[in-house]
Amino acid sequence: MAAPTPTPTPTPTPTAAPTMWIGRVSRPSEDRQRTVLVRTDGRAPQPDDLVEEIADPFAAALPSAGGDAPSDALVLAQQASPIAGGVRAPIGELILRPPLRPGKIICVGRNYAAHAREMGNEVPTEPLLFFKPSSAALAAGAPIDLPRGYERIDMEAELVVVIGRAGYRLAREQALDVVAGYTIGNDVSCRDLQKKDGQWTRAKGFDGFAPLGPFVRLHPSGAPLAEDVRIRGSVDGTIRQEGRVGDMIFDVAAILAYVSACMTLEPGDLVFTGTPDGVWPLHPGETTTVTAVGFDLGELSTPLR
């Protein structure tokens, strides 16, 4: 009698750490936007993943929300219970909205040396800051109606820091404590107006010029991202931009310390951290895609019309 075939020892499945994601969705039949929570095993949410509606943790963490103590959107999200009668459905059955209602959108210009050089600028000795209006926020998958009559509108693939709790005059060593998580963004920029106006308000501020998401990945308070995480920008599937987070001139902690020396960072504020070189001119009919490599933040695709 032949010896029984030994039962193979099951290879332990590598269990990625559970990850929580915050987004906003609408039911197909309504305009109302609802904040939702998604849990995954570390990968970005997929169409089959179930979302559950929760109270907006960023709004609830604002000092003006009237809580007993300064609160932290990261903690509120981690402790959130689904709203009774709220949305509970697979992502694929819902309309994605920008993953939060942004407060300030603070942006850093020229934060990668190769990008500063490609634009003919000096490498800055301190962060160069500007704002985008919150009305520029655009959901993943939603189209931009490119304004007509300009020579050059570029994509800028960027890592976006999501602020979870208020902070003012933060020391660099404590600055990451106010971070709730990360997402990716596209700092769409009209070069004609950037040169003509001097101020960048119009160049960076058209409706749709801040594609964002699809979700905010919550991240442990105070923990930096790995320096090898790369931010990648593609147009119609061809990679045009890629930069390492570790190659930023000013890292996330330095940026948050610098910004908060001037203004209070508040829950729901976003910080666009600058773009690698390879910024690329855009045309109607193309599709831009921004992803992070080595730290899954999902895929931010934007059709251009």
Binding site for Mn ion (CB under 5 A): 156, 187, 275
Q: Which one-letter DSSP state was computed for residue 59?
A: H
The amino acid that residue 14 corresponds to is: P
For Mn ion, the closer of residues 150 and 168 by Cβ is: 150
E strand residue ranges, 74-170? 88-90, 95-97, 105-109, 128-132, 137-138, 153-155, 157-163
Q: Rounded to the nearest whole angstrom, what is the least distance from the CB of residue 279 to Mn ion in the complex?
A: 8
The residue whose two tokens read 């193979």 is 8
Query: How many CA atoms lie within 13 Å of 48's alpha carbon, on the beta-carbon side?
Result: 1
**Residue (87 or 229) nearer to Mn ion, CB:** 229
- Minimum CB distance to Mn ion, residue 111 (Å): 8
Looking at the Cβ atoms of 19 and 111, the one nearer to Mn ion is 111
Shortest distance, position 272 Cβ to Mn ion, whole Å: 6
Sign of CA dihedral 20, 23, 162, 234: positive
In the complex, the smallest distance separating the C-beta of residue 79 from Mn ion, rounded to whole angstroms, is 34
SS3 304: strand
Cβ proximity to Mn ion, 140 vs 188, nearer residue = 188
CB 26 within 8 A of CB 35: no
Q: Which residue is nearest to Mn ion (CB)?
A: 187
Short-list 129, 79, 66, CA closest to 265: 129
Nearer residue to Mn ion within complex by CB, 260 or 273: 273
CA–CA dist 78, 80 (Å, integer) = 6
> Shortest distance, CB of residue 201 to Mn ion, whole angstroms?
14
DSSP element (H, E) containing 196: helix 191-197
In this structure, which long-range contacts are made by residues 254-258, counting pairs with CB atoms below 8 Å and at least 24 apart in sequence?
A: 254/127, 254/172, 254/175, 255/108, 255/111, 255/127, 255/161, 256/161, 256/167, 256/170, 256/175, 256/176, 256/178, 256/179, 257/170, 257/171, 257/172, 257/175, 258/126, 258/127, 258/129
Is the Cβ of residue 72 or residue 156 nearer to Mn ion in the bound state? Answer: 156
Identity of the residue, 156 or 251, whose beta carbon is nearer to Mn ion in the bound complex: 156
Q: How far is the CB of 155 from Mn ion (least distance, A)?
A: 10
**Phi/psi of residue 236, each to 5°?**
50, 40
Q: Which is nearer to Mn ion, 43 or 196 (CB)?
A: 196
CB of 264 to Mn ion, least distance (A): 22
Considering the complex, what minimum distance in angstroms separates the CB of residue 188 from Mn ion?
Answer: 9
